[in-house]
Each structure stands twice: as C-alpha cells, then as structure tokens.
C-alpha cells in the first residue's frame, strides 16, 4: 500500500469512530442504548439492515466466487424480496406492537419462558461464535495480501468497532452503518467502473460479456430440480425465501435494526427498501467479479492467489516439477489470451472451441498447483477464492483508490460486527440478565451493565478471531452450526403467529425435532444447505402442531 492509501484508510477509521461517538451521545436508558430510543427513520434503518448483512467476506468472497464460478450465486438472494413482504405482513407488526427488545422476548408472551430462553441461547451460541469468524476471515485475507500482522489487523478492526458501540449503542451502530453502507455503495460503483475502464483497447463491455458468457460465467438461471445442485432457481426462490425469513425475522442482529424504527410504517419501509435494492446490488458485485475474470485474460494472473501458500509451494515443492508446471500454466494463459481475442473478433464456433480448450488447459494447470499445495499441507483443502479480489485491488488499482477499497472492506466488516456486538449484548441483557438476575434496576446501572456486555462480546469476538488460526476445521463447524437451527427457530415463530392453537409444549419439543431433522438431512443426504431452513421450519411447524394436538389441554 502507498502512503496515500494509508492516509485514506486512517482517515476512514478515525472519521467513523469519531462519527460513532458523536451520533451515540445522549443514551439515558436501555431503550436508547439498544433501540436508539425507537426514533429512527426508514432510510437509516434500511441502510443499517443492508450494512449488517453485507460482511467483508460477503464483499470479497462474492466477487471471488463470480471469478471462479460465475454469477449463479445471485439466486441466493431471489427469495429476499418475498421474505421482506411476508415479514412486513406477519412478524414485524407482532414484534412492533408487543414493544419487545428481542425477538425471543415475544416467544415468552406467546408460549413460555423456556422456549424464549432456548431460542435466545441458540442465537447467543451461534452468533457469538460466528462473530469471531466474521472478524477473523477478512483480517486473515488482509494480513496475507498486505503483509500486515494478523493479530494487529484483528485488533484494529475489532477494537475500533468496540469503542463506538460500547459508548453509543444502537444509535452509533445505525448511523455508522448508514455512512459505511454509502461508502460500500461508492466502492462497488468504483470497482465496477475501474474494471470496465481497464478492459483492453478496442475491447468493449459487450465483448467482455460475450467472453464471460462463453466461459459460463453469466449462467444464472439453473432450473435443475435436483436438491443437491447448488444455487438452482428453486433453491434460491424457496430455500432462499426460508433462509431470509429466518435471518431477517428471527435473528436478533436484524430484528433489532427494524425495532429501532419510529413507527411500524418506518420499520416496514426499511425492509421493503432492502427488497428493492438487494438483488441489484449483489448483481453489480458479482458482475464486477466477472469483469475481473475477463481482466485477467489480458494480464498475468498468479498460479495461486494466496501468496503465503504460493511461497510455501515454491520452498517445498520439487523445483523441476514446479518449473514445468509454471511453464505449462504460462503457456496456457498465453494461449487463452490469443484464443479469446480471436473468438471475440470472429465469433465462429471453431474459435470458441479453441478458446474453451485453452480455458480447460489453464484450469487443469492450476488444478495441479492446487493438488501440490494440498499435498504439502497434508491433504487439507485449499481454497483461495477470497484472495482474488483483494489481490486485484492491490495490484491494479491506482494509489489512493486501493486504500479506499481497503476502507470499503473495513466498512463492510465493521458494519456487520457493530450490529452483532449490539444484538448479542441485547439478548444477554434482556433475555438473561433482566429476566433471571435483576428484573429492575436504575437506568444508570442498566446502561452500565449493557455497555459491559457489549464490551465482553466484543472482547470475546477478538479472542475467538485471535485463536481461529489454531481452530482449523472447527471454523467450518461454527459456520455450519447456525444452519442447523436457523430454519427451526423460524418454525417456532411461524407456530407463534400463524396458529392460534399451537401450545408451548409443541413449540419447545418441535424445536428439538426440527434441529434433529436438519442434522439428519445434513449428515445423511447430499441436499444443498439452502434447503436446510425449509426442512427445519416445516419439521418444527408440523411436529409442533402434532405435539399440541396430542397433549392434554392446559387449564389456562
């Protein structure tokens, strides 16, 4: 990074922390601290909802995925607009009128204390562990690409977020999210514009899209009925719908955002704002990744995108084997460039076949390098998708702009972390401390305890992130952990609002059955994870109704 890049990044960090402090003034009670006094307008809440969802790894991982796999990941978001409408009609009015702080608080009013406690505990467990991974993943990528110290990157990213969230609570979270989301939008347009501008002379956007199309990178609508094929239209529409209903309807990190709206109308509008903008935004991010893919047809791409693993390969692989592999890879890259230019000029089937053969040979050469590095690492799976976009930024963006895009990655990480610290503290304070330890206390004491919980969760996230390097495959377990019960928690909420007859016993044991069903499906079938939420929600809903019907009626 150049000095100008450093200046841009530091200005961003100082400005966002100062802004967080300034906007977070005036918290007098926990309703101010956790729900911003229920005073926020729809556009601020809407941008905060969007910023909380888009983490750094979503931003850099999605562009990398478009590079390697194309744009079909877009269908992941197809269920979102429908989920937002369903939530506006069902859960949002219930939460809003019940004047709750947490989504789980509502479940005690509807069912019983143990259902509330269990769902809140599941949220704390999954979100508490995953927030560490949310911090670790971009810190690792940035430290590897930029050569920074990994602990220093974690502490810079996590620490700067903790200080303003501890002081200002949800007001700081929402207002900094607004600024960070605007920075992210600016960064997305900037990257897209730079990627278009960097196409070779005489090679237009239409040519780039033609090349991407012939490489399969523009394939989005896969109508395969297979449940194991990733990102089909149906898994996006149905599985994605249930996932988004779970995330936006039952995950406190999102529920808390729209509970801060000044009215039910404002809360609903904040979600509908996302329903309009989310798919176009993801489309633009993915298209930028596709343009980076086209860009590297005309510029040398590294054999491996992770420089640390590349150095390991250079020092540990047999030299003659590596030299031969490099020569094969460079020859294939040169052949792919020539054949790409020829195909774009002629558009004949023969030229297309030559281009596709060159692409296959290039992929095979890289596949050999991946196998070599996996052998060196004792068989551990190698994936460098998340390193592609940061490598491109650093190598090919002008000085200043590279720093700005690194700031965008920080903004994406911090906007997610801030919402998660705040929501973890809220669930701990409202569902456990105030429920079981100290139901009433002075505003001053409750505010102090709330800040303490925020600091503790922030510190815990940093600790998990600092230790994550030694956790190995446990990280994957943490990432999968949430998907086991996300849909099941949604099933409990569906029982609560859709069925007047569902009883507490049905909800509690239905939740257990739902989680067991998802675990069984993930363990014993090849069903893609987007369907887990459908399985969980349906299993809880059906078993909850059956258990209620078989149970003796309560005297009340």
Partner 1 sequence: MGKNPPSPPAEDEPVPVFGTWPRIYAAVIVSALAVMALVAVFSAFPY
Whichever of 2 and 213 has its CB closer to partner 1, that residue is: 213
Residues that bind partner 1 (CB under 8 A): 71, 74, 78, 81-82, 84-85, 88-89, 93-94, 97-98, 109-111, 206-207, 209-210, 213, 218-221, 263-266, 268-269, 272, 275-276, 279-280, 283, 496-497, 500-502, 556
Supply the minimum distance, in Å, between the C-beta of residue 306 and partner 1: 30
Supply the minimum distance, in Å, between the C-beta of residue 110 and partner 1: 5
Closest-CA residue to 225 (of 213, 216, 234, 217): 234
DSSP string across 514-548: HHHHHHHHHHHS---GGGHHHHHHHHHHHHHHHHH
Output the CA torsion sign for 35, 41, 44, 47: positive
CA gap 508, 407 in Å, rounded:
44
CB atoms within 10 A of CB 29: 14
Whichever of 108 and 309 has its CB closer to partner 1, that residue is: 108
Supply the minimum distance, in Å, between the C-beta of residue 323 and partner 1: 38
Residues with Cβ within 8 Å of 224's Cβ and at least 6 positions away in sequence, in order, are: 232
Whichever of 218 and 407 has its CB closer to partner 1, that residue is: 218
Supply the minimum distance, in Å, between the C-beta of residue 534 and partner 1: 19
Contact 178, 45 (CB under 8 A): no
Supply the minimum distance, in Å, between the C-beta of residue 291 and partner 1: 13
DSSP string across 288-332: HHHHHHHHTTSS---SSS-HHHHHHHHHHS-HHHHHHHHHHHHHH
Supply the minimum distance, in Å, between the C-beta of residue 539 and partner 1: 21
Whichever of 86 and 317 has its CB closer to partner 1, that residue is: 86
CA gap 433, 389 in Å, rounded:
43
Element housing 420 (H / E)? helix 401-428
Supply the minimum distance, in Å, between the C-beta of residue 261 and partner 1: 10
Supply the minimum distance, in Å, between the C-beta of residue 206 and partner 1: 5
Supply the minimum distance, in Å, between the C-beta of residue 189 and partner 1: 18
CA gap 102, 95 in Å, rounded:
8
Whichever of 18 and 205 has its CB closer to partner 1, that residue is: 205
Q: Token pair for residue 437? A: 């330890």
Supply the minimum distance, in Å, between the C-beta of residue 73 and partner 1: 12
Supply the minimum distance, in Å, between the C-beta of residue 406 and partner 1: 30
The two counts, helices (H) then strands (E), for the chain are: 23, 0
Whichever of 62 and 483 has its CB closer to partner 1, that residue is: 62
Whichever of 273 and 305 has its CB closer to partner 1, that residue is: 273
Whichever of 21 and 283 has its CB closer to partner 1, that residue is: 283
Whichever of 35 and 404 has its CB closer to partner 1, that residue is: 35
Closest-CA residue to 99 (of 266, 264, 272): 264
Whichever of 214 and 416 has its CB closer to partner 1, that residue is: 214
DSSP 157: H
CB atoms within 10 A of CB 516: 15
Supply the minimum distance, in Å, between the C-beta of residue 195 and partner 1: 16
Is 146 buried (19+), middle (13-18) or exposed (0-12) by CB count in 10 A?
A: middle
Contact 361, 401 (CB under 8 A): no
CA gap 451, 63 in Å, rounded:
36
CA gap 390, 295 in Å, rounded:
14
Whichever of 468 and 496 has its CB closer to partner 1, that residue is: 496
Contact 264, 92 (CB under 8 A): yes
Whichever of 313 and 504 has its CB closer to partner 1, that residue is: 504
Closest-CA residue to 76 (of 529, 432, 546): 529
As a three-state string, the secondary structure of 58-98 is: HHHHHHHHHHHHCCHHHHHHCCHHHHHHHHHHCHHHHHHHH
């Amino acid at each position: 990074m150049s000095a100008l890049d450093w200046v841009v990044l530091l200005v961003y960090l100082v400005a966002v922390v100062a802004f967080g402090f300034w906007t977070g003034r005036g918290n007098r009670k926990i309703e101010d601290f956790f729900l911003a006094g229920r005073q926020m307008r729809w556009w601020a809440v809407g941008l905060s909802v969007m910023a909380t969802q888009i983490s750094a790894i979503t931003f850099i991982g999605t562009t990398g995925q478009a590079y390697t796999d194309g744009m079909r990941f877009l269908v992941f978001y197809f269920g979102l607009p429908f989920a937002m409408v369903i939530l506006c009609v069902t859960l949002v009015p219930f939460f809003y009128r019940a004047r709750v702080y947490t989504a789980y608080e509502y479940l005690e009013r509807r069912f019983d204390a143990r259902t509330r406690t269990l769902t809140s505990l599941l949220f704390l467990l999954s979100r508490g562990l995953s927030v560490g991974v949310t911090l670790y993943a971009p810190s690792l990528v940035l430290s590897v690409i930029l050569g920074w110290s990994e602990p220093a990157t974690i502490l810079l990213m996590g620490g700067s977020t903790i200080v303003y969230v501890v002081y200002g609570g949800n007001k700081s979270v929402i207002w900094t999210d607004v600024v960070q989301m605007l920075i992210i939008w600016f960064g997305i347009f900037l990257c897209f514009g730079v990627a278009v501008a960097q196409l070779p002379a005489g090679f237009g956007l239409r040519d780039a899209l033609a090349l991407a199309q012939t490489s399969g990178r523009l394939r989005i609508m896969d109508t395969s009925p297979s449940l194991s094929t990733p990102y089909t239209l149906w898994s996006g529409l149905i599985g994605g719908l249930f996932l988004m209903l779970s995330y936006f309807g039952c995950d406190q990190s999102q529920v808390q955002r729209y509970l801060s709206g000044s009215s039910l109308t404002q809360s609903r509008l904040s979600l509908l704002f996302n329903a309009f903008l989310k798919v176009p935004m993801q489309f633009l991010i993915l298209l930028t990744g596709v343009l980076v893919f086209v860009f590297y047809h005309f510029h040398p791409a590294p054999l491996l995108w992770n420089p640390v693993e590349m150095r390991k390969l250079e020092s540990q692989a047999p030299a003659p084997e590596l030299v031969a592999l490099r020569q094969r890879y460079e020859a294939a890259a040169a052949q792919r460039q020539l054949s790409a230019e020829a195909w774009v000029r002629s558009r004949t089937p023969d030229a297309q076949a030559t281009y596709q053969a060159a692409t296959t040979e290039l992929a095979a050469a890289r596949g050999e390098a991946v196998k070599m590095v996996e052998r060196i690492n004792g068989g551990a799976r190698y994936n460098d998708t998340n390193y592609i976009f940061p490598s491109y930024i650093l190598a090919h963006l002008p000085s200043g702009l590279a720093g700005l895009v690194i700031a965008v990655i920080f903004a994406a990480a911090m906007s997610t972390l801030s919402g998660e610290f705040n929501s973890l503290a809220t669930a701990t304070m409202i569902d456990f401390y105030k429920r079981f330890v100290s139901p009433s206390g002075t505003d001053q004491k409750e505010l102090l305890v709330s800040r303490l919980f925020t600091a503790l969760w922030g510190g815990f996230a940093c600790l998990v992130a600092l230790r994550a390097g030694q956790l190995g495959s446990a990280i994957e377990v943490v990432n999968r952990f949430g998907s086991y019960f996300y849909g099941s928690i949604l099933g409990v909420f569906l029982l609560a609002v859709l069925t007047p007859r569902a009883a507490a016993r049905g909800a509690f044991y239905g939740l257990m059955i739902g989680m067991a069903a998802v675990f069984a499906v993930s363990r014993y079938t090849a069903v893609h994870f987007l369907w887990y939420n459908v399985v969980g929600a349906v299993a809880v809903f059906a078993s909850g109704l059956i258990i209620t019907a078989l149970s003796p009626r309560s005297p009340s």
